Amino acid sequence: MRLVIASNNAHKVAEIKAILAPYYDEILSLKDAGITIDVVEDGETFEDNARKKAEEVLAVAHADAVLSDDSGLMVDALGGAPGVYSARYAGEGHDDAANNAKLLEAMQSVPDGARACRFVSAIALARRGRETLIRLGEVEGTLLRAPRGIDGFGYDPLFYYEPAGRTFAELSACEKNLVSHRKRGLEAVRAALEAERA
């Protein structure tokens, strides 16, 4: 059984391998599988985007399954924004710093007690001859008024994780991976695969 991960991010690939290795003989990144494809993520939800990417890659892959994820930050006070636009919140071609600056500006007048937010990850596992499996992972946090920490990426410096008493950017990669939204989504996929085996 061969699984292709619709990513070339080494950290993401390693995390997925650690969780799903018991179910596949071979787990490859896009590059390892010799696949170059640019899927337009134009869905209205994280689930839409993850499904589309997994199914389009599966259509060209020599594999039994393809796993994809789409992740982002949802802020309650902004009606769930930036949501699926998390990576391009400040516009195409802008970086993490610009996205964070726009988010802080949008949240400037929101009081401390109303700054709840969550990271969400939709995991899609497209499989030949079977229905695509989709699971969500979420982690709750509070949006700070200024960035803290130097690790992580994206909105991590603004995402305060209460159980750790630190932002995601103040956690080590190992600490973050233990509680991340992607890990929770992957574990939900693993649980679904276990249920299918039973």
List the domains of the chain with CATH numbers: 2-197 (3.90.950.10)
Provide the β-strand partners of residue 73.
119
The predicted pLDDT at position 53 comes to 97
**Does position 15 have pLDDT exceeding 90, yes or no?**
no
Residue 118's closest CA among 81, 164, 68, 171? 81
The 10s digit of each residue's pLDDT in 93-124 is 889 999 999 999 999 999 999 999 999 999 99
Residue 59, C-beta contacts closer than 8 angstroms, at least 6 positions apart: none
Per the structure block, which two tokens stand in for 39?
């899927």
The predicted pLDDT at position 74 comes to 98
Give the Cβ contact number of residue 89 at 10 Å. 22
The predicted pLDDT at position 73 comes to 98
pTM of structure: 0.91
Catalytic residue among 70, 95, 96, 112: 70
70 is catalytic: yes
**Does position 198 have pLDDT exceeding 80, yes or no?**
no
Residue 68, C-beta contacts closer than 8 angstroms, at least 6 positions apart: 5, 6, 7, 50, 51, 53, 54, 57, 123, 124, 126
First CA to last CA across the chain, in angstroms?
A: 18
Q: CA 102 from chain center: how many Å?
A: 21
What is the 8-class DSSP label of residue 131? P
Q: What is the radius of gyration, based on Cα positions, of the chain?
A: 17
The 10s digit of each residue's pLDDT in 145-164 is 999 999 878 999 999 999 99
Under the banding of pLDDT at 50, 70 and 90, the label for residue 92 is confident
